[in-house]
Structures are given as structure tokens and as C-alpha cells.
């Protein structure tokens, strides 16, 4: 069975600028993969190639085994663009109805109601887009991406316009999607968000994947901290396996041990290490 989303040796040039330089990435069924990187790293280009908005210079991108941008691929896809807008005179319900027609969804009013409820817009069903806040439009965008129950969801900065409550709604939504077997590629600047929900993370820099793996795999041991009667003491380079020995040594040396903490790097540390001095 082909991956839900896969890109192989993907290259994209804009004139002399190489936006992507041979990127390989896949999202398996029911997997939630986060895409990280500083501005200009090629994240949006990668996402746009995957959804068929941009043509690759070399390499290939596939959705459920179908060429990205083909009808078969688009039938499987739900997409929220980083910058998007709906016609201001449409109501929330009409936006979803339009996308139902375009996505060949036969979900009808029941699907629209369910999606609006999912993004906490059930009270704004008849409100025109013009009269919505940016956050509401962003949530409507997410509901639009879910029209037709797509098997693959590509979200480009889905929480950029949301307040903490809105972000939480999206986070819960993403977890629900994963539980339903929906595959998600999430492009976001918010490391904490990625760390909380993603199964795997790929970090891009200058058009190349410079680090990839689960958040746990990407985090590195930074030492063990002992809290003793002399105060806290950090043993750098020590791992979880070293903790019992370190405690025993401290006790043998006449120290009282009140606590032990294994220190690991955060995704942020790994990210900053991977992208170097590039400012996001």
C-alpha cells in the first residue's frame, strides 16, 4: 500500500534560486507529520507541490500513489492554504456547500453542520465571511479542508490566526483525525504545537531535510540532575541508565538525595541546532 503522501528527490527552482534540493518525505496512513524550518526553507513550496499548486522541477510527489495534482490525488486531499480567502458575500454554510460540490461530497447539510460544530462555528452558520473575524475565517478554512472526509490532510500554518482557545480546538481536531486514520502533513512555525501532536517531524533548511524523526528521537539526553542536601547538581552527558548509579554514589558519599531528573533537549533545542543561525 503506497504512503498517504510521498515526495521523492523533489527539486524546485525559481530561476536561479533552488527552493528544494532533493527532498524525500513520506506520511503514512494515520500518521501526523510536522514540517518545520525557517522562512525560505522550502516548506510552503513542498506543501504546494504536494497539493498540485506548484510544479516540481525534478522528482515526484504523490498522494495515495497518485501523481500530485491529478484528479485521483485531489479526491483524497483536504488542504488549508497558508494565505486563503473565501468570497466575502458567502455565508459559512454556502462556503462549505460550494466545496461539497467541488469535492463531489454527498454529505449534504448534515456534513456541513457537523464540520461547523467541529470548528466551533455552529452559531455562525448563516454569517457572511465578510462579518467574520480572522480566527473564525481560519476555522472555517479548516472545516473546508475537511469537506468530503479526505484521507490526506495538508495544513499550512492552520493556527497562525488563532487565539489559544482556537489552537486548542485545532489540536484536538488533529488528534481526532489521526484516530480516524486520516494522514496529516502539518506545516507550522509553532514548535510546541508540533511537539504536542505530531508523530514525526521533518526539519527543512535551505531546501533540504536536515533532521527527521519522532519528537522523542529528535530529543537528545542532556544529563541527569540530582537534588541533594548540597543543592542541585547536574551530571552532563549522563543518561537515564546512569541515574541509579549516580544516586548510589551520592548516597555512598554521605549525601541526602531528594530528587532525580533526567534532562533531555527539547524540540526547540534540536530545531535551533538543525537550522543553525537562520532566523525563522
Contact characters 60-79, other proteins, x per CB under 8 A = -----------x--xx-x-x
Nearer to other proteins, 12 or 178 (CB): 12
Options 85-93, 171-179, 207-215, 249-257: segment touching other proteins (CB under 8 A): 85-93
3-class SS of residue 214: coil
Sequence-distant (6+) residues with CB within 8 A of 48 are: 54
Tell whether residue 161 is a contact of other proteins (CB under 8 A): no
The number of beta carbons lying within 10 Å of the beta carbon of residue 26 is 18
Please state, in angstroms and rounded to a whole number, the distance separating the CA atoms of residues 131 and 123: 13
Nearer to other proteins, 103 or 250 (CB): 103
**Of the residues 44, 144, 187, 228, which one makes contact with other proteins according to CB under 8 A:** 144
14-53 binders of other proteins (CB under 8 A): 48, 51-53
Tell whether residue 112 is a contact of other proteins (CB under 8 A): no
Q: How far is the CB of 95 from other proteins (least distance, A)?
A: 9
Show the CA angle centred on residue 178, arms to residues 135 and 36, nearest 5°. 65
Q: Which of 120, 108, 185, 92 is nearest to 149 (CA)?
A: 108
146-178 residues labelled b (16+ CB within 10 A) or e (exposed): bbbebbbbbbbbbbeebeeebbebbeebbeebb
Tell whether residue 84 is a contact of other proteins (CB under 8 A): yes
Task: Give the chain's length.
Answer: 280
Residues that bind other proteins (CB under 8 A): 48, 51-55, 71, 74-75, 77, 79, 81, 83-87, 89, 98-99, 102-104, 141, 144
Amino acid at each position: 500500500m503506497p504512503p498517504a503522501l510521498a515526495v521523492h528527490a523533489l527539486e524546485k527552482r525559481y530561476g536561479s534560486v533552488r527552493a528544494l534540493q532533493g527532498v524525500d518525505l513520506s506520511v503514512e496512513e494515520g500518521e501526523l507529520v510536522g514540517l518545520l524550518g525557517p522562512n525560505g526553507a522550502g516548506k510552503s513550496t513542498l506543501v504546494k507541490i504536494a497539493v498540485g499548486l506548484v510544479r516540481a522541477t525534478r522528482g515526484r510527489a504523490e498522494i495515495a500513489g497518485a501523481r500530485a495534482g491529478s484528479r485521483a490525488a485531489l479526491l483524497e486531499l483536504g488542504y488549508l492554504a497558508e494565505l486563503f480567502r473565501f468570497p466575502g458575500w458567502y455565508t459559512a454554510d454556502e462556503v462549505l456547500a460550494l466545496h461539497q460540490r467541488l469535492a463531489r461530497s454527498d454529505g449534504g447539510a448534515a456534513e456541513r453542520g457537523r464540520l461547523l460544530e467541529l470548528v466551533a462555528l455552529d452559531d455562525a452558520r448563516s454569517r457572511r465571511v465578510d462579518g467574520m473575524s480572522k480566527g473564525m475565517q481560519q476555522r472555517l478554512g479548516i472545516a473546508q479542508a475537511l469537506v468530503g472526509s479526505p484521507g490526506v490532510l495538508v495544513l499550512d500554518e492552520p493556527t497562525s490566526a488563532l487565539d489559544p482557545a482556537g489552537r486548542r480546538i485545532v489540536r484536538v481536531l488533529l488528534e481526532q483525525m489521526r484516530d480516524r486514520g486520516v494522514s496529516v502533513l502539518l506545516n507550522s512555525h509553532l514548535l510546541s504545537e508540533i511537539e504536542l501532536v505530531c508523530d514525526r517531524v521533518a526539519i527543512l533548511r535551505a531546501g533540504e531535510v536536515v533532521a527527521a524523526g519522532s519528537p522523542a528521537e529528535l530529543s537528545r539526553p542532556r544529563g541527569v540532575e540530582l537534588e541533594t542536601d548540597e543543592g542541585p547538581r547536574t551530571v552532563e552527558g549522563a543518561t537515564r541508565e546512569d541515574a541509579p548509579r549516580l544516586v548510589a554514589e551520592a548516597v555512598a558519599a554521605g549525601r541526602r538525595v531528594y530528587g532525580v531528573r533526567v534532562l533531555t533537549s527539547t524540540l526547540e533545542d534540536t530545531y535551533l541546532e538543525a537550522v543553525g543561525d537562520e532566523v525563522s
